[in-house]
Amino acid sequence: MRKRLRAHTYGAVTNNIVRASEEAIERAARLLRMGELVAFPTETVYGLGGDATSEEAVARIFAAKGRPRFNPLIVHLPGLAEAEALAVFDERARMAALRFWPGPLSLVLPRRPESGLSLLASAGLDTVALRAPAHPVAQALLHAAGRPIAAPSANRSGRVSPTTAAHVAAEFEDPHPPIARAMGPPLSRNAGEGKSGAAPRTIARTAGEGASGRSPEAGEGLGPAMILDAGPCLVGIESTVLDLTGPTPELLRAGGVPLEELREVFGDIEVAAPDEVAPRAPGWLASHYAPGRPVRLDAMDARPGEALLAFGPEAAPGFAEVLFLSRSGDLGEAAANLFAMLRRLDRPEVAGIAVMSIPEIGLGRAINDRLGRAAAPKP
């Protein structure tokens, strides 16, 4: 039974994986303009994209991910010119964009009231997170779509981010995935009301979802209409999220642009403690990026049945399986391998995933942040 179901749903989804040719990108852009969801590669991770100006499309993203509605999305644009129409850029923000865009940096800025962005994308906040991704396929898609695209990582809420098209397909193949239970209250401007044009099934779902304040059960059957495939993501870890709405720039999420590089430009940067971030971006649940197997950090020796994620040339003996994040101790290589290797080890015959310690510098900060959440007790 299980096998038949899997084969069926897997087939349905993998048929949607399309090599990112020019023609495929055009088709994907058309789907986005119609309010459909498209998964696409960025240099960080694959995103689950939807028209950021459409409440219905954005509601579909939340439903497909099973994402709590209080957790805002990042809006993607080709560059600074398009971004300035949506948010207020001061000198610092302009400097950040000129220095790091296109690239793995998301800027939280005051949202222009006339931006036309879905309120749900910002989870009702008066700020918006903007990013211009560097990946050529993402750039081509954003140009072709001709509108801002909201795109969280293309995984079910609370799970490991996808760095290949196959990871995306796997996320949306399972009709009953384990998802975060905490769902937010409905927002005042509800998705599903207003504009027409969405498929009836979507209106029905999002309306029901708004009424109860919960996403439907893991957004069954609501995966992307198409998955654009351009191979593995080079950075492999999500963008750095930098809040520029206060007097001092504040790091909300460590990511692809290391804190050290931001400090070179800005000097002083506050690093938000997870608890401080919680009220503003409560997507910062302690447990996130969580594989099914227990994750144990700073491992020095093996416990029965454990697999190891090693960093550096040596691995302690006794592990059932060893994958090297980077034999040469290169943090960029380790970041690029992290999510794919967590997925590979997340199998029933593996008792647990042990991880060697990673230095807390450069990209190591982002790696340790994700590992910390992967190891956190699940709600």
Binding site for Mg ion (CB under 5 A): 153
Contact pattern from residue 231 through residue 270 relative to ligand TXA, giving x for each residue in contact according to CB under 6 A and a dash for the rest: -------xx-x----------xx-----------------
Nearer to ligand TXA, 13 or 149 (CB): 149
The nearest distance, CB 236 to ligand TXA, in angstroms, is: 10
* Binding test (CB under 6 A) with ligand TXA, winner from 9, 16, 53, 127: 127
Q: Which stretch binds ligand TXA (CB under 6 A): 121-129, 170-178, 206-214, 302-310?
A: 121-129
Nearer to ligand TXA, 241 or 358 (CB): 241
* 74 counts as binding ligand TXA under rule CB under 6 A: yes
Q: Which stretch binds ligand TXA (CB under 6 A): 101-109, 306-314, 330-338, 367-375?
A: 101-109
- What is the footprint of ligand TXA within residues 144-173 (CB under 6 A)? 151-153
Q: Which stretch binds ligand TXA (CB under 6 A): 40-48, 222-230, 297-305, 346-354?
A: 40-48
Sign of the torsion formed by the C-alpha atoms of 135, 140, 143 and 148: negative
Nearer to ligand TXA, 47 or 352 (CB): 47
The nearest distance, CB 15 to ligand TXA, in angstroms, is: 23
Q: What residues make contact with ligand TXA under the rule CB under 6 A?
A: 42, 44-45, 47, 71-74, 104, 106, 108, 122, 125, 127-129, 131, 133, 151-153, 238-239, 241, 252-253, 280-281, 283
